[in-house]
Amino acid sequence: MLNLEDTYKQFGERVFNIALQYLRNVEDAEEVTQDVFLTVYNKQSQFEGKAQLGTWIHRIAVNKSLDFIKARNRQKRGGGLISYLTVTTDNVAQPNNDLNHPGVALEHREVVSKWFHRIDQLPENQRTAIVLVRIEEFSPVEAAAIMDLSVKAVDSLLQRAKKNLLKIELKNEGK
């Protein structure tokens, strides 16, 4: 049986920060963190111990954050069955544009906000690779385990993300 308090002490802050990098809103990140630990508690019997506990929890955090963004987008579009049935062309979940991130200093807020805006235009897996490796500073091996990919695949995602970000930057300059 999992001791929830110990698990929270060990992983709570990291889970909260992962959610915060995706959602950039403290309240939303706390809601996702709460949801993550409730899932961990409910599904602890499903944890087979093949991966490390931290890897499993961080994977739940990534999935819950992406689900939260999708749900919020559905709400913005009007919700209901139609939005479920509507197929988006690029499978890109757009997070909130209002930056409420206490980890970003006020003087850097504009620069970071623009950077996040560019990141938001990337596909989910490329964005996840950036969040885990570049912001949360997981090692490529840890990030690969969380994303259930090989290290090579994560590296490839980062390279593609880099190319795409340069394209986005050039496109923005051209406007």
Residues that bind another protein (CB under 8 A): 4-5, 8, 12-13, 16-17, 20-21, 26, 29-30, 33-34, 37-38, 41-42, 101-105, 108, 111-112, 115-116, 118, 130, 134-135, 158, 161-162, 165-166, 169
Question: Do residues 135 and 158 make contact, with C-beta atoms less than 8 angstroms apart?
Answer: no
User: Least distance (Å) from another protein to the CB of residue 30?
Assistant: 6
User: Least distance (Å) from another protein to the CB of residue 49?
Assistant: 22
Nearer to another protein, 93 or 158 (CB): 158
For residue 11, CA distances in Å to 25, 102, 143 come to 19, 19, 15
Measuring CA to CA, which residue among 71, 70, 172, 62 is closest to residue 118?
172
Nearer to another protein, 74 or 92 (CB): 92
Nearer to another protein, 49 or 102 (CB): 102
Name the residue with tokens 């991966």: 51
User: Least distance (Å) from another protein to the CB of residue 74?
Assistant: 24
Nearer to another protein, 86 or 139 (CB): 139
Virtual CA dihedral for 75, 81, 82, 88, nearest 10 degrees? Answer: 70
- Here the tokens at position 157 are 């995602």
User: Residue 155 and residue 158: Cα distance in Å, rounded?
Assistant: 5
